[in-house]
Chain A
Amino acid sequence: MFEKYLSAFIVGGIICVIGQLLIDKTKLTSARILVIFVTAGVVLTALGIYQKIVDFGGAGATIPLTGFGYTLAKGAFRDVDQYGLLGAFTGGVRAAAAGIAAAVFFGYLASVAAKPKAKR
């Protein structure tokens, strides 16, 4: 059980380190870096590589944004198996539905309740 937590910590940490190196060493903004990560997640899942990282790292691979790409890609493949070509369109969004809906709804609620605070 402890090994599962350790591998999540390490894999998650390494993926974030890659992001940090991109921030420090290139002029890429964080928005572009996130786009790269989510797309990389889709591509690596399509190539069968990311599943192995998920098997080893668990949440360390699914929590970072590459994991979001993994969820989207896996969902697309599953729906294609089930529905054919239509599945390519339904699969990604269906798999990520919980996260997207939660982000939209809770984000809206938070904006009603909270105010931005100035930085000192």
Chain B
Amino acid sequence: MAEKRVGKQTVKFQNPPVITSTASIVGPKEGKGPLGSYFDYVIDDELWGEKTWEKAESKIVRETLSKLLEKSGKSQEDINYVIAGDLLNQDIASTFGIRGTSISYLGVFGACSTICEAMAIGSMIIDGNFADNVICVTSSHFCSAEKQFRFPLELGTQRPPTAQWTVLGCGGVLLSSRGQGPRITHVTVGKIVDKGIKDANNMGAAMAPAAADTILTHLKDTGFAPDYYDLILTGDLGIVGKRICEEIMAEVGFDISKRFNDCGLLIFDREKQDVHAGASGCGCCASVFAGYLYKQLLEGKLKRILLVATGALLSPTSTQQGETIPSIAHAVSIES
């Protein structure tokens, strides 16, 4: 009998894991955004001394992991698991970033929902008494993502207004069974939701139903009202997806508009920086949480948040074969 299960998809922790430390490294464009001062390090060019975008992304993962260990005062031997993922085929940014460490590695893929997927798994491992310290880290790189999913950088194309800008960034969190810091009290692992959107240039619209589905399931499972949370944040729905999610929620009686925001709309200034509908990428939710939201929680400016990272589970092959875009969202309930 799985006693920690609540409702359909939610798990409530008996010993809520503590987020004892976070680290974040972002690219120049993100550094110039409104949250620029909250990140641990801003690199000044997209290659960071490496020969290829992919190698640069691995370096960012490696350095974020180092920074996290440095900030938390722990060494590799203290960490029981590292759970990581990114947008690249076969998660190579994570693999080559974590290669060389001696930590047990669990690679995951959730597209842009990966940080919450990793935190969900990490929390369950800790609450289940299988580990004392788990690191969750995810990254994305604008150039490597464009190369894999869209077009070569120098190709003269126009992005439609619904397109989103993949973040160049990495965020890592250290979850511990003991210590000081905000705690993860519940996680709601999402199910795949597909409402038939085929347009890879409008991912917000593809992901919004999944976000709404997970938030609704979380609220029903736990019995919380939206105002239980100071803020409900999605990972990267962008301006279009955020509006759709709000409308879906409002129709079933949950007005979240006063306490709802999206990491993809926080990390860039849409007026001044050319990002069309907002930011996307695994690194978006991860770096915004690790850099900005974590500090807000530590300073008591936010007491309870629901972090809902959203992912579009497509590949270049699936869209070329005419498939729609299935999406997923995972919710992590954090209390300081």
> How far, in angstroms, from A119 to B163 measured CA to CA in the complex?
15
- Cβ contact of B45, chosen from A23, A27, A118, cutoff 8 A: A118
Please classify how large the interface on chain B is, using the bins under 10, 10 to 19, 20 to 34, 35 or more: 10 to 19
Number of chain A residues close to chain B: CB under 8 A: 8
Instruction: Closest B residue to A30 by CB, please name it.
Output: B157
Q: In the complex, are the beta carbons of A120 and B28 less than 8 A apart?
A: yes
Q: In the complex, are the beta carbons of B152 and A116 less than 8 A apart?
A: yes
> How far, in angstroms, from A116 to B151 measured CA to CA in the complex?
12
Identify whether the interface residues of B are mostly helix, strand, loop, or mixed. Answer: loop
Shortest Cβ gap from B187 to chain A (Å)? 35
Inter-chain contact count A-B, CB under 8 Å? Answer: 20
Q: In the complex, are the beta carbons of B28 and A116 less than 8 A apart?
A: no
Q: Residue-by-residue, is A12-52 near B (CB-CB < 8 Å gives 1, otherwise 0)?
A: 00000000000100010010000000000000000000000
For chain B residues 14-51, which have a beta carbon within 8 Å of chain A?
28-29, 45-47
Question: If A23-B158, A30-B157 touch, does A118 touch B199 (CB 8 Å cutoff)?
Answer: no
- Cβ contact of B142, chosen from A23, A27, A30, A119, cutoff 8 A: A119
B211 at the interface (CB under 8 A from A): no
- Cβ contact of A118, chosen from B153, B157, B198, cutoff 8 A: B153
Q: Residue-by-residue, is A80-120 near B (CB-CB < 8 Å gives 1, otherwise 0)?
A: 00000000000000000000000000000000000011111
Q: In the complex, are the beta carbons of B153 and A117 less than 8 A apart?
A: yes
Q: In the complex, are the beta carbons of A118 and B142 less than 8 A apart?
A: yes
B98 at the interface (CB under 8 A from A): no
Residues of A within 8 A of B (CB): 23, 27, 30, 116-120
Residues of B within 8 A of A (CB): 28-29, 45-47, 142-143, 152-154, 157-158, 198-199
* Between-chain CB contacts (< 8 Å), 20 pairs: A23-B158, A27-B198, A27-B199, A30-B157, A116-B143, A116-B152, A116-B153, A116-B154, A117-B153, A117-B154, A118-B45, A118-B46, A118-B47, A118-B142, A118-B143, A118-B153, A119-B142, A119-B153, A120-B28, A120-B29
- Give 5 A-B pairs besides A117-B154, A118-B153, A119-B142 with Cβ atoms closer than 8 angstroms: A23-B158, A116-B154, A118-B45, A118-B143, A120-B28
